Amino acid sequence: MWKFILPIVAFIALAVLFAFGLNPNRDIHAIPSPLIGKPAPLFKLTDVSDPSRIVSNADLKGQVYVLNVWGTWCVACRQEQQDLLTIAQQHVVPIIGLDYMDERSKAQQWLQQLGNPYNAVAFDTDGRTAIDWGVYGAPETFLVDGAGRVIYKFISPMTQQVWAREFLPRIEAARKGGA
């Protein structure tokens, strides 16, 4: 007798699974970052506008900072530029840019045309730094605490709402935590 009820029971389980899958808060493309809680990878790269200048996050030790990964090829990065500028004007934390898979001249043009929200922009010539940070698509934004640990990663264009909702509370907590 039970074997005739099995199919409908199996379907109910399937329907529940699908209902869960439809949850709008799910991001099917999101891949949890294994870097959370781990030390941020150190990099020492050249500045995108001035190849003789070095940009390194070793200099930021002791500070809470944000690393924003972008490229001129990335359409979504264009979207977040405005919001980043507004956020930068609040001068909450240093915002370091990591420009990858790109050309210097294009990047310089971009910053001139659209504005520069970054304290400094590191140019990832060969993509190795991006790999070290587990970057797989731009834009991606990391939050690093004063002890040099990655505490948050956000994938998607940055907006002011996200900044207020996800980043500000964490920045405050990190600062209180002592750094």
Residues in touch with another protein (CB under 8 A): 1, 4-5, 7-8, 11-12, 14-15, 17-24, 26, 28-29, 31-35, 101, 126-128, 130-134, 136-137
Output 41 or 146, the one with its CB closest to another protein: 41
Task: State the residue for tokens 């869960």.
Answer: 20
CB of 20 to another protein, least distance (A): 5
Output 76 or 101, the one with its CB closest to another protein: 101
CB of 160 to another protein, least distance (A): 25
Count of all residues that appear for the chain in the document: 179
127: amino acid identity, one letter = G
CB of 32 to another protein, least distance (A): 6
Cis amide bond preceding 39, omega within 30: no
Asked whether 96 and 175 are in contact (CB, 8 A), the reply is no
Give 169's contacts (C-beta < 8 A, 6+ positions apart).
none
Output 77 or 88, the one with its CB closest to another protein: 77
Output 46 or 129, the one with its CB closest to another protein: 129
Q: What is the DSSP string of 24-67?
A: TT--TT----TTTTSBPPP-EEEESS-TTSEEEGGGGTTS-EEE
CB of 96 to another protein, least distance (A): 19
